[in-house]
Structure 1
Amino acid sequence: MEAREISRAQARRIAVRAQALDLPRPGDLVEVVQQLSLLQIDPVAAIAPSAELVLWSRLGAGYRSADLVRALESRTLVEFNGMIRPVEDLPAHLAGHDEWPRQWDQGREWLRANDRFRQDVLNRLEDQGPLLSKEIPDTSQVSWPSSGWTNDRNVTQMLEFLVMRAEVAVSGRRGRQRVFDLAERVYPDLPELTLEEGLPLRDERRLTSLGIARTKGTAMPSEPVDVGQAGIPVTIEGVDGQWRVDPEALERDETTEFRGRAALLSPYDRLVFDRQRAQELFGFEFVVEVYKPANKRRWGYYALPILFRDRLIGKLDAKAERKEGVFEVYAIHQDVAFTEEMTVAVEAEIDALAHWLGLERLR
């Protein structure tokens, strides 16, 4: 199919709508996660956990943490590989699980050498599960070698491998710690797909959630940002290269008026997660500065990108000081000079965030 050209404004609107950041707001948590396809789990919570911020930015004041807990307990949503996903998407992500890891020699060899350890873990979970990783003895025959934090963390590494092989699953959490059980006791009956069947489905779901994405993209440590041959080809005026767009999203942009709003986003929000796409479509420069020394930060430890309609216009540097009961705003970095309308809308969102957190805003 010959690629048609769309404007950069169209591409931005499609991306914002696909991420449920337009009006009217969605009213149902599960509906939001089904549209987004995932919620990334991240331990940093200077304001709130990333998954919670993503949901609040879509649902607003009606969102409660208990809603997410209930959805996970009912298995409507499931935790898999560091993400919360709709259960119906799980078959595509488990596709080819019995051959995992296909192209990772170190992982295959370590699993083979620790087959007795693997069986010990499965037997322990069958008899006593669900369990925290620290409640499972390390009976490994060969220690896991790494130059990073996983070195000699054999139980954790085995559990991670068994999750990817669909033998073990995360059944819940105690505080921030994952609880593991046999996958057959956590996942409902699901169709099994080959990897060749599952990969195109992943691309299609990713494109639905992004609206528009590169055919090929930079490798990411978690979820990819490219979508292969899903959707239809387009080019974007003033932007190099080939893109793919969700045809339903393109039709919606051409037939339905776009109604934008202001939103404060998690630093890990999918609208800005692909830094190159954010730069190309929105002219938005952003990096997460959690791991930077304080004197090298430009926008703040846990700065929140600020969306206004179809533009990313700045960053909010703030922190939730729960012991003091306050939400402290250090700076609002304006990438463009805010109009009065922008200022009013952004200030209202900041007040709404403080209220949702149950804190008093310090101006």
Structure 2
Amino acid sequence: MVVHQLTASQARRIAVHAQLLDQPRPTDLVATVERLTFLQIDPTAAIAPSADLVLWSRLGRTYDPTSLTTAIEHDRTLVETVAYVRSPQDIPAVIAEVREAEPYPFMAEWLAANDSFRRDILATLEADGPLLSRDIPDTSVVPWPSTGWTNNRNVTKMLEALALRGEVAIAGRKGRQRYFDLPDRVYPPGLPTLTLEQALAHRNERRLAALGIARATGTVMPGEGSYVGDAGEPAEVEGVPGTWRVHPAYLDAADDFTGRTACSARSTGSSTTASGLSSSGVSSTSSRCTSPRSSAAGATSRCRSCTTTAWSGSSTPRPTARPARSSSTRSTRTSASPPR
């Protein structure tokens, strides 16, 4: 197989293009989330919640935060999982990774000890869902042990664990509180059940589609992209050691590129190498913040408001009533009543 030879500038352009931060600007919210693979749900809102900042940096002034709520809770074209907003197409792979390759052995032991608790929750949701966690009785046998704020938060921990495994789903929100229900009332019908091998292949393909160029294997710094296995095609980047994997559909962006700028006052303060490529992964996929200097060279800097990395293990949602918006803040998504 041919190994693509790229300059650092070409690699940066591919990464920026993959993250939808070049011209032309995307116009469709759902398609944007599908390309990025997920939005992180972060309640911190120094300017606005993380998901809104990421979408604004792509869609621009046409973006309305209420449209994200509508897509999740009314149209079901997007779904909320534990800590993320995702496309429904990714839910089977996310669930399969947790089910087939349990990342936390202690969690498996806790779930086994509380199997009657699990069955009680499923029966309660079947009869009365969707419900807030505070409305579900705690019948746990073994409490959740923690030295932090999750200590003895048994209902919440069980609901999140079941959501990650596809046994329950997040159906909507009341402020910052989540409604939980059975998956067949939330997810679209006909979602497949994947093996772990199929899930990993799906994840790697989707991750590379969001990153454009990434390492095949290895460890990366937090927030510095990820690895993609054998997805895509091999590439070498001038001045950067090792072999990369590049998405073949984006190779034209290496030479046919028009940059743009998305400005925000919220920055992580982290930096990149002079080439814009980290030693472990192509992570500099945002446009430059606070200064309109994006160019055909793909000049970039790290900014939390303008960048997102691809994929993270987790699971996902449905209500049918259009939720009411809070009159007090743009950053809080609300439902006036349980979504049914």
Deviations 1:243-286 (A, max 9, x none): 111011113434xx211111136969xxx99x79x4475168xx
Deviation (angstroms), 1:69: 1.2
Alpha-carbon separation, structure 1, partners of 2:304 and 2:102: 42
Letter in 1 for 2:259: G
Deviations 1:161-201 (A, max 9, x none): 10111110011111122111111211112111111111111
CA spacing shift, 1:202–1:3, aligned 2, 3 Å: same
Alpha-carbon separation, structure 2, partners of 1:101 and 1:135: 31
Query: Structure 1 stretches of 5 or more lacking a match?
Result: 285-303, 318-356, 358-363
Percent identity of the aligned residues? 51
RCO higher in structure (CA 8 A, sep ≥6): 2
| Equivalent pairs, count | 293
The residue that corresponds to 1:91 in the other structure is 92
Deviations 1:183-220 (A, max 9, x none): 12111121111111111111000100110111124367
Deviations 1:310-357 (A, max 9, x none): 21258799xxxxxxxxxxxxxxxxxxxxxxxxxxxxxxxxxxxxxxx8
Contact 2:214 2:225 in 1 (8 A): no
Whether 1:213 aligns to 2:199 is: no
CA spacing shift, 1:252–1:144, aligned 2, 3 Å: same
What TM-score, normalized to structure 1?
0.73
CA spacing shift, 1:222–1:280, aligned 2, 3 Å: closer
Judging by fraction of residues, say which structure has more helix: 1
Alpha-carbon separation, structure 1, partners of 2:162 and 2:234: 37
Alpha-carbon separation, structure 2, partners of 1:32 and 1:266: 23
3-state SS in 2 of match to 1:250: helix
Any residues of structure 2 matched to 1:260-275 within 5 Å, and which?
260-264=259-263
Alpha-carbon separation, structure 1, partners of 2:171 and 2:94: 17
Which of 282, 292, 314 is equivalent to 2:276? 282
Deviation (angstroms), 1:104: 3.0
Judging by fraction of residues, say which structure has more strand: 1
The residue that corresponds to 2:258 in the other structure is 259
3-state SS in 2 of match to 1:95: helix
What TM-score, normalized to structure 2?
0.78
The higher radius of gyration belongs to 1
Alpha-carbon separation, structure 2, partners of 1:314 and 1:96: 29
CA spacing shift, 1:305–1:250, aligned 2, 3 Å: farther
3-state SS in 1 of match to 2:241: strand
Any residues of structure 2 matched to 1:112-151 within 5 Å, and which?
112-151=112-151
Alpha-carbon separation, structure 2, partners of 1:241 and 1:81: 35
Superposed CA RMSD in Å reads 3.0
Alpha-carbon separation, structure 2, partners of 1:38 and 1:265: 21
Deviations 1:66-100 (A, max 9, x none): 11111112110011231111112222222255x35
Alpha-carbon separation, structure 1, partners of 2:149 and 2:223: 17
The residue that corresponds to 1:311 in the other structure is 299
Contact 2:96 2:165 in 1 (8 A): no
